[in-house]
Chain A
Amino acid sequence: MLKEGQVRIPSGCAISGIFCKSGKRMSGEAIIESIRIMHDRSNGLGGGFAAYGIYPEYKDYYAFHVFYDNHEAKKDCESFLERHFDIINLSKIPTRKIPQITDEPLIWRYFVTPLHTKLAESQLDEDEFVVKCVFRVNTEINGAYVFSSGKDMGVFKAVGFPEDVGRFYRLEEYEGYCFTAHGRYPTNTPGWWGGAHPFALLDCSVVHNGEISSYDANRRAIEMYGYKCTLQTDTEVIAYIYDYLKRKIGLTELEIASVIAAPFWQTIERMPKEQRQRAEYLRNVFAGQLITGPFSILVGFDGGLMALNDRLKLRSMVIGEKDDMVYMASEECAIRIIQPELDRVWSPRGGEAVIVTLDEAAKAAYQSRA
């Protein structure tokens, strides 16, 4: 395949997210409808969804969604997985044959848990062990890509318009408390299955509208910590930055937002002392994780969803609220089409993170769910 630099595809993307704070599970139908109305923001070269709370029966197992270019890649990958994991269940991911989606790779799903002996040998915690394995598959097994690796969540993506991708993956048959969606209009990089959004690592998934000017600086910085950018597009690095700041450094979502969309120095100068010192600290220590250029992103994580714009707000973002539902989208129409009556509708400022999480009761219910 031609890589970035050898090919240029001229450009908008669309993003949408739905979150139910009370944890009530809904089908994937609404998110398909929401992203469909923004059809003209994408060009058919990528669409995808992340869904949370969809695998209650396997909630303690990592759910790997894997693309294989061919059977040999599948054989190699499965042999690797068998050496490192207890595979509780494996199956083809159910799809629907439709003329709009063609040239699909082999698409498989595995529910796994690290083998005790391997895990102990590695001296890593479970999550880190899984991350290392995901990167090994993605970099060392030719033609195999683990594109989803979280618990009780999954990514579904393809080349095509997002509403077709949703039908292709039979998304209406899944039920979750949170969905995000992306319609792609690739600007600098090839439109291919692995390059469709969301990009995910463990339970974190990212959909993105925009273009990261600082991509290569971010990539070089994050690759120092063992992450490997393999998917030929800029958004991937956001998922790794989020994972690094959250899981390894232990920052909160709000702090992560203040790192990747750090306020300008001149804005920081005018902050009250304590806030200023915090902002200066985050900007200085995590300078390599500052993302510049236009972006609006939705970051899904276990029990929550975050919307964030670049500090100049060069891409659009609208938030809608109705009872226990929160909607986040590139355009208000994508919210109105599924929820015409809203209690509140507003646009966050550049760099202002909007974070929603499950209510305490819902959180407890998801954790205790067997």
Chain B
Amino acid sequence: MTIDAANMHFQVLNEKIRDHSGKKITIENCCGQRYIGAGMSGRSITINGTPGNALGAYLNGSEIKVNGNAQDAVGDTMNDGAIMIHGNVGDAPGYAMRGGRIFVRGNAGYRAGIHMKQYKDKKPVIIIGGRAGSFLGEYLAGGIIAVLNLQNEQPIISNFTGTGMHGGKIFLRCQAVPDNLPAQVSAEPAQPEDFKELAPHLKAYCKQFGLDYEQLAADTFFVLKPNAKNPYKKLYTQN
């Protein structure tokens, strides 16, 4: 089914999507409609245009592909499924995400993957093709975030990356450790056992965006983990 979303309110658009019994849905002329695909399972939604905030919030197993840029709060508290963005994404993608994958071809705004967590087989993944804004993976408790910086621009990340992190891993494709990491984060060149965790997702990412996996995997990656040597006393308050 194809929906022409020009001048359509988000409520109407989302009702149409929910009422459709088939699996595949294409949205044309999307411009700012919020909550697309929220909480949905078993659908495959292609969006042409600019979807509004909270795209795929609470997503529970659907696939969403965006031909364009996405705005803020993509995949908020997402549980399962995949969101593929063939452009940039705004602030706070994958906030408190607990499963599924978000692939971004371009850059991500501030606060990507904050509060992400994992439990048993639920392991959320965010891969950002470009660069990421400040607070990447803040309070990270689980899951994987990778920033590829495919255009090799500087800096790959901004301030406060992984602040308050106590689980999960952040992979950065770069030649040297960024110099502005907080003390609570340790950074080492990614070892083969680290990279093994990322590999299947990176393969899927390369397939989605038509990139050469072997070439990318041969590059240098650093992995950020919580620094067990540095406990969290006096991080935010004098206590």
List A residues at the B interface (Cβ < 8 Å). 37-38, 40, 267, 270, 312-313, 316, 318, 331-334, 336-337, 345-347, 349-350
Residues of chain A lying within 8 A (CB to CB) of residue B134: 312-313, 349-350
Nearest 9 Cβ contacts at the A-B interface: A333-B32, A313-B110, A333-B31, A333-B50, A336-B50, A37-B32, A332-B50, A316-B72, A337-B31
Minimum CB–CB distance from B50 to chain A (whole Å) comes to: 5
- Among B72, B133, B180, contact of A349 (Cβ-Cβ < 8 Å): B133
Where chain A touches its partner, the secondary structure class is: loop
Residues of B within 8 A of A346 (CB): 88
A313 engages B133 (CB within 8 Å): yes
Q: Of the candidates B49, B72, B135, which one forms a contact with A336 in the assembled complex, judged by CB atoms under 8 Å apart?
A: B49
The CA-CA distance from A312 to B180 in the complex, in Å, is 16
Interface residues of B toward A: which range? 20 to 34
Tally of A-B Cβ pairs under 8 angstroms: 57
| Interface check B69, CB cutoff 8 A | yes
Nearest neighbor of B70 in chain A, beta-carbon distance? A332
A331, B133: Cβ atoms closer than 8 Å: no
CB distance from B156 to the nearest CB of A (A): 14
9 A/B residue pairs, CB under 8 Å, sorted by A? A312-B110, A313-B109, A313-B110, A332-B50, A333-B71, A336-B49, A336-B50, A345-B88, A347-B90
Interface status of B53 (Cβ within 8 A of chain A): yes
Separation of A345 and B91 alpha carbons in the complex (Å)? 14
Residue of A nearest to B30 (CB): A333
B69 touches A334 (CB 8 A): no
Q: Check A345/B69 contact, CB under 8 A, given A267-B159, A313-B134, A333-B31.
A: yes
Q: Do A331 and B32 have beta carbons less than 8 Å apart?
A: yes
B158 interface residue, CB < 8 Å from A? yes
The verdict on B10 contacting chain A, using a C-beta distance below 8 Å, is yes
Q: Main SS of chain B's interface residues? A: loop
Task: Say yes or no: A331 contacts B158, CB within 8 Å.
Answer: no
Q: How far is the CB of B208 from chain A (nearest CB, A)?
A: 22
**Are A331 and B71 in contact (CB-based, < 8 A)?**
yes
Tell me if B225 counts as interface (CB < 8 A to partner A). Answer: no
CB distance from B153 to the nearest CB of A (A): 12
CB <8 Å contact, A331 and B53: yes
Query: Cβ of A37: which chain B residues have Cβ within 8 Å of it?
Result: 31-32
Whether, in the assembled complex, B52 has its beta carbon less than 8 Å from a beta carbon of chain A, the answer is: yes
Q: CA separation between A316 and B93, bound complex, in Å? A: 13
Do B31 and A336 touch (CB < 8 A)?
Answer: yes
Is the CB–CB distance between B32 and A337 below 8 Å? yes
Taken residue by residue from 81 to 114, chain B's Cβ proximity to chain A (1 for < 8 Å, 0 otherwise) reads as 0000000101100000000000000000110000
Q: Is the CB of A40 within 8 A of B49?
A: no
Residues of B within 8 A of A349 (CB): 133-134, 158
Q: Is there a chain A Cβ closer than 8 Å to B123's Cβ?
A: no
Contacts of B109 in A (CB 8 A): 313, 316, 347
Is B34 engaged at the interface, CB distance under 8 Å to the other chain? yes
Starting from the known contacts A38-B32, A331-B53, A347-B109, 13 additional A-B residue pairs (CB-CB under 8 Å) come to A270-B180, A313-B133, A332-B71, A333-B32, A334-B32, A336-B49, A336-B50, A346-B88, A347-B88, A347-B91, A349-B158, A350-B110, A350-B134
CA A71 to CA B145, docked complex, whole Å: 63
A48 to B135, alpha carbons, bound, how many Å?
A: 33
